[in-house]
Each structure stands twice: as C-alpha cells, then as structure tokens.
Amino acid sequence: MDGTLAIAANNLTSPIILFFILGVGAAFARSDLSIPEAIAKGLSIYLLFAIGFKGGVSVADHGVDTTLVLSLLAGMVLSFLLPVLAYTLLRGMTRLSVIDAAAVAGHYGSISIVTFVAATSVATSAGFNPEGYMVAVAAVMEAPAILSALWIVARFGKQSADMEDGLIREILLNGSIVLLVGAFVIGWITGDEGMQMIAPFIQGPFQGVLCLFLLDMGLIAGRGLREARSVLTPGLFAFGVIMPLLGASFGLGTGLLLGLSPGGVLLFMTLAASASYIAVPAAMRVALPEANPSVYLTLSLGITFPFNLTLGIPIYLAVATALTGG
C-alpha cells in the first residue's frame, strides 16, 4: 500500500502531471493562456514520431516473436469488445439514447495515444522497459472500436450509421496512425544505428515537449469541462471513472495471459483504460452526426483522460508490479 501511495505521489508531482494541472487550472481561471494550434500540432507530431521510432528500435533489438503477433491480435479483439461493455454500462447507468451511448462506447474501445505516452514515461521512470511493440498494439487498437460502435447502432438503434466507403480509409489512414506506424517501421528497419543518428532529437527534448503538450491538453480538458458541465450527470461522471478501471482489468488479464513484462502489462492496462478524443470523435461526426459531441468529448477528454493521467496510471503501475512480481 505504501508503495502504491509513493508511486501515486511521485506521479502527481512529476512535471508532466503538474503542467497538465496548470493547464486545467488556467482554463478554470479563464486565463488567456493558450498554445497556438500549429505549435500544438507540431508537438503531437514530435511525440508520435519519437514514441513510434523508439518502439521500432526496441523491436529491432529484441526481435519478433509470437507474443508480438498475439499482442496485436489481443489488442484488436479488446478494441472490438470493450465498446460492447461500455454500451451495456452506459445504458444501465445513464439515460443516454442508443446513438449517444454507442458513440461514447466507441471512444472507450479506442485509445488515447497521449495517455499511452505518459504511461510509457511513468514505466521508464519506474525502471521498467516495456515491450517496444506496444506502440504497434496502440495503433491497431485505434480503429476496431469505431466499427463496434456502428454495429451497436445497427443492432440496437432505429437507424443505420452513415457507413460510407471513404470512412474506413480515413480511419485507417488517419495522420496519427500513419506517423506512429511509419516511425515504428523506420525505427525497426534502422535499429540502434538509426537511433544513434537521431537520439539527441528524440530523447533529450522528449520530456519537455511532453510537458508542453500536456499543458495544452490541460487547457483543452479544463475548457471542455467548464463549458460542458451541464452535460455531466452523476451517472456519466461515474461511468467516466468506472469504465477505465474495468477496461484496465481486461488489459491486465490480457497482459498476464500473454506473459508480458510489468511495463508491458502497465501499457496494455493503460491502452484498454484510455478513451480516444481525436480519431473516434472525427469518425463519429461523419458516421453518427446525431450523436451529441459534447457528451463523448467531455467524458473522454474531461473525465477519463485526467483520471487516467493522475490516478489511473499509478494504480495500473502498482497492480502490474504486484501481479507480475516486477
């Protein structure tokens, strides 16, 4: 218990979390602090590039094994199934319509890459060396949940989703996925030699860039919460906290079954616990325009993201450490 508290305290006083809290506080205080849109996009490109490349280099070092393939498959299956659990919970705990509940559920089967990056940073700080291919697992978990959400609407709703041909292509070729997977493959091909060439760029500034990005995320989450407080019912708020814990339990079971390292289990838990706020909202606006965006954005960005960042990741780390003997 003391260990868990120490991990939680260390996490809460790390620069990345404090900058996030600064952003949330500034938004609530109605400060005019903002990160220009183009700079925020540049920061996210840097983070995706760095995390993808490092993951690829790690796979080049450790080689490909069946666990990698099984992890990818397990990630895909989780992403398909978690929305069904989320939908069932939402219909039981809240008064959301089928369409709103399905749209929210889709977000909870997909992942938040920033939460993944933060968990990777926490794992590394705790002395763990997670499997590099978890980056690829993150990439494959982005899209299946969207299909699940649309299936839920087709199965339980009175209308069908607008599943046009171009949507699947847009989801799969989403810029974040292309960059993450592309950097992963390049890191895999070039290995340590490639890493030595660009290490000063992707290792040294990484934590500082992450701090700035999380400051921006804090501002966005704080403003979203401030403007959408009316949307948040007690049931929705509870869902935003319970669902990541349930998702993390599935991630934990999967990670343990696959025999991943403590860091790998932590990342699987984090991926299953996190909710998308970039790829899935855009897909939902196209496929389910009747769904209320303020519900799913407020939940994923305003509740689940801060929860995972501040309390969730330390809990997942403590559980992963305890159950893997790490």
State the nearest-atom distance from the C-beta of 108 to another protein, in Å. 16
The residue among 84 and 231 lying less far from another protein, judged by its C-beta, is: 231
The Cα–Cα gap between 219 and 20 comes to: 8
Q: Check residue 45 for interaction with another protein (CB under 8 A).
A: no
Half-sphere exposure in the Cβ direction for 26 (13 Å, CA): 18
Binder among 76, 290, 311, 326 for another protein (CB under 8 A):
290
Q: Which of 40, 101, 309, 320 binds another protein (CB under 8 A)?
A: 40
Residue 282 near another protein by CB under 8 A: yes
- Per rule CB under 8 A, is residue 309 in the interface with another protein? no
Q: Is 44 in the site for another protein (CB under 8 A)?
A: yes
Check binding of 220 to another protein (CB under 8 A): yes
* Minimum distance from residue 275 beta carbon to another protein (Å): 13
208 Cβ neighbours under 8 A, 6+ residues apart = none
> Does 169 contact another protein by CB under 8 A?
no
Shortest separation between residue 155's beta carbon and another protein, angstroms = 20
Stretch that binds another protein, among 78-86, 142-150, 243-251, 279-287 (CB under 8 A): 279-287
Q: Which of 284, 295, 309, 320 binds another protein (CB under 8 A)?
A: 284
* CA 76 distance to own-chain centroid: 14
- Which parts of the chain fold into alpha helices (H)? 2-12, 15-28, 37-62, 66-93, 98-109, 113-125, 134-140, 144-156, 165-172, 175-202, 206-227, 234-258, 262-273, 279-287, 293-297, 305-307, 313-324
For residue 316, the number of C-alpha atoms closer than 13 Å in the C-beta half-sphere is 38
Copy the structure tokens of residue 229.
């407080």
- 289 sits near another protein (criterion: CB under 8 A): yes
> Which one, of 210, 69, 62, lies nearest residue 131 by Cα?
62
State which of residues 95, 162, 169, 208 lies at the interface with another protein (CB under 8 A): 162
**The one segment of 52-60, 180-188, 241-249, 271-279 that binds another protein by CB under 8 A:** 271-279
Q: Which is nearer to another protein, 272 or 284 (CB)?
A: 284
Using rule CB under 8 A, residue 293 touches another protein: yes
Q: Can you tell me the distance from the alpha carbon of 52 to that of 187, in angstroms, rounded to the nearest whole number?
A: 7
Contact status: 111 vs another protein (CB under 8 A)? no
- Minimum Å gap between C-beta 217 and another protein is 7
- Closer residue to another protein in complex, CB, 163/290: 290
Give the interface segment with another protein, choosing from 52-60, 183-191, 284-292, 316-324 (CB under 8 A): 284-292
Long-range contact pairs involving 317-320 (C-beta distance under 8 Å, separation at least 24): 317/7, 317/11, 317/119, 317/122, 317/123, 317/126, 317/266, 318/3, 318/4, 318/7, 318/8, 319/248, 319/252, 319/269, 320/252, 320/255, 320/262, 320/263, 320/265, 320/266, 320/269
Q: Which is nearer to another protein, 114 or 319 (CB)?
A: 114
Separation between Cα atoms, residue 89 and residue 12, nearest integer Å:
29
Residues in contact with another protein by CB under 8 A are 34, 37, 40, 44, 162, 166, 216-217, 219-220, 223-224, 227-228, 277-279, 281-282, 284-286, 289-290, 292-294, 297
